[in-house]
Amino acid sequence: MPSEPASVATKMVRNAAGVKADFRAAIPTIMPDGSVITVIDLKFLRENPDVVRASQHARGEDPGLVDALLAADEERRGAIATADSLRAEQKAFGKKIGQASPEERPALLEGSNELKTKVKEAEEAQKRAEENVVKLQYAISNVIEGAPAGGEEDFEVLEHVGELPEFDFEVQDHLDLGEALGIIDMKRGTKVGGARFYYLVGDGAWMQLGMLMLAAQKAREAGFKVMVPPVLVRPEIMAGTGFLDAHDEEIYYLERDDLYLVGTSEVALAGYHRDEIIDLSDGPLLYAGWSSCFRREAGSYGKDTKGILRVHQFDKLEMFVYCKPEDAEEMHQKLLGLEREMLAAVEVPYRIIDVAAGDLGSSAARKFDTEAWVPSQDTYRELTSTSNCTTFQGRRLNTRYRDESGKTQTAATLNGTLATTRWLVAILENNQQADGSVVVPEALRPWVGKEVLTP
């Protein structure tokens, strides 16, 4: 295994067991080739501090961190200049000693020792200054790009797609339907795994497998390379994606092994090209990860306790893109377009929302959610999301590419969900019939093997 660069940031995170754990985030300040790796682009911050302050304000986060980081950056640059100057002086002094007469050397050697102490102190000051900069960089979320300001309820509805179903009978929720059909077993799931675990049985399993296979096919046809990635990742990979910034309570942590269970294959796919210079000369790199995902749902006590809307384990097909920053906005629309295609295939009405800045994860500059109509709740619930993370994750994970001049630049990353277990909620409820049967969407019938599921 290659050794990590020596200059790294230490971050305190709270693991799933509620225990404080130190780990080396492995985000170097200075790479061996001399390039500087940052979380927030310091050059952009210096030139556009008001933009970053406005982003922090729109997210409901502390804009004062911007000024703190600017001051820390100034201190870091001063510390680097001081250490460089002293090292140069030490080098010149060494030459002077080599040329000195035997009589002059004792006094010069004493001065050399004093200079050596000054150099050591300056290097320690430089290290502290660099670590302070990285610490503050980790505290500032990605700069939003076009997201509306506000919190969870301040999203903007961009579009409604499909007709809401009308029923002339009493609507059942997905769990009542699933249990009557024999395709969802929550009771035995709870017996085996505890609350928020379940079994998908028979046609329920085939419906999920069919949905994910359909998503994988659509991804492949759109140029994505389908992958089955690891579901356990090292701390620096989880930190690199931004999930430990605000969502560490939602993540399962295996303390004995110092590994995290992923809540989305985005994490493993983001780490795939860590510390690499990738080739984007022929266009973006497109991946689609099929994996089980795990979430503690620590902040959801009492919410969605019935059924499979909010569970600890589920399967998902996640799209992931590496591209040049100037291509990110176009790729974001492409991911949203693929989500549209998939939702049309499973025949559920939905709406698209532009998520407000205060409801974005720290890595996302903008996010679109698609929310399906859930008849039993008389409301829309999230099925998919697609996020443009710009260069935020690329900087943390040191993923770069060469531009036309051969200079290395930070790659942008994006992600989007193409299918996941909770889609079954919308499929069952929107396609239910008066006798408790459910019409299987035509696109899923080759896998399910039936047109209608009957109690």
Which pLDDT score, from 0 to 100, does residue 135 have? Answer: 87
The conformation of residue 422, written as its DSSP 8-state character, comes to T
Question: Is residue 161 domain-shared with residue 100, that is, in the same domain?
Answer: no
Asked if residue 417 belongs to a known ligand binding site, the reply is yes
Q: Which of 83, 113, 139 is the last residue of a domain?
A: 139
Written as six digits, the tokens of 26 are 């492995």
β-partners of residue 161 are: 350
Question: Is residue 326 domain-shared with residue 416, that is, in the same domain?
Answer: yes
Please report whether residue 109 resides in a domain.
Answer: yes
Q: How many CA atoms lie within 13 A of 140 on its CB side?
A: 31
Q: Please classify residue 101 by burial: count the beta carbons closer than 10 Å to its beta carbon, then call 0-12 exposed, 13-18 middle and 19+ buried.
A: exposed
Please report whether residue 208 resides in a domain.
Answer: yes
Question: Is residue 253 domain-shared with residue 378, that is, in the same domain?
Answer: yes
Asked if residue 266 belongs to a known ligand binding site, the reply is yes
Question: Is residue 132 domain-shared with residue 179, that is, in the same domain?
Answer: no
Which pLDDT score, from 0 to 100, does residue 146 have? Answer: 93
Give the count of domains, the chain: 2
Model confidence, pTM: 0.86
The conformation of residue 314, written as its DSSP 8-state character, comes to E
Polymer length of the chain: 455
Please report whether residue 12 resides in a domain.
Answer: no
Question: Is residue 70 domain-shared with residue 162, that is, in the same domain?
Answer: no
Asked if residue 265 belongs to a known ligand binding site, the reply is yes
Q: Which of 139, 172, 198 is the last residue of a domain?
A: 139
pLDDT tens column, 121-143 = 899 999 999 999 988 988 899 99
Q: How far apart are CA 185 and CA 199, in angstroms?
A: 5
Asked if residue 105 belongs to a known ligand binding site, the reply is no
Determine how many CB atoms are found less than 10 A away from the CB of residue 93. 17
Question: Is residue 226 domain-shared with residue 328, that is, in the same domain?
Answer: yes
Which pLDDT score, from 0 to 100, does residue 26 have? Answer: 34
Range of the domain at 102: 33-139
Q: How far apart are CA 259 and CA 234, in angstroms?
A: 5
Question: Is residue 162 domain-shared with residue 123, that is, in the same domain?
Answer: no
Asked if residue 312 belongs to a known ligand binding site, the reply is yes
Q: Which residues of the chain have pLDDT under 70?
A: 1-39, 93-101, 103-112, 246-247, 299-302
Please report whether residue 2 resides in a domain.
Answer: no
Q: Which of 84, 108, 139 is the last residue of a domain?
A: 139
φ/ψ of 404, rounded to 5, equals -65, -25
**Positions marked catalytic:** 295, 310, 382, 385, 422
Question: Is residue 42 domain-shared with residue 126, that is, in the same domain?
Answer: yes
Asked if residue 171 belongs to a known ligand binding site, the reply is no
Question: Is residue 210 domain-shared with residue 355, that is, in the same domain?
Answer: yes
Amino acid letter, residue 411: A
3-class SS at 361? coil
Question: Is residue 86 domain-shared with residue 188, that is, in the same domain?
Answer: no
Which pLDDT score, from 0 to 100, does residue 212 have? Answer: 98
Asked if residue 161 belongs to a known ligand binding site, the reply is no
- CATH value at residue 206: 3.30.930.10
Q: How far apart are CA 198 and CA 312, in angstroms?
A: 9
Q: How far apart are CA 214 and CA 260, in angstroms?
A: 29
Please report whether residue 23 resides in a domain.
Answer: no
Question: Is residue 232 domain-shared with residue 124, that is, in the same domain?
Answer: no
Question: Is residue 357 domain-shared with residue 246, that is, in the same domain?
Answer: yes
φ/ψ of 398, rounded to 5, equals 55, 50
pLDDT tens column, 160-195 = 999 999 999 999 999 999 999 999 999 999 999 999
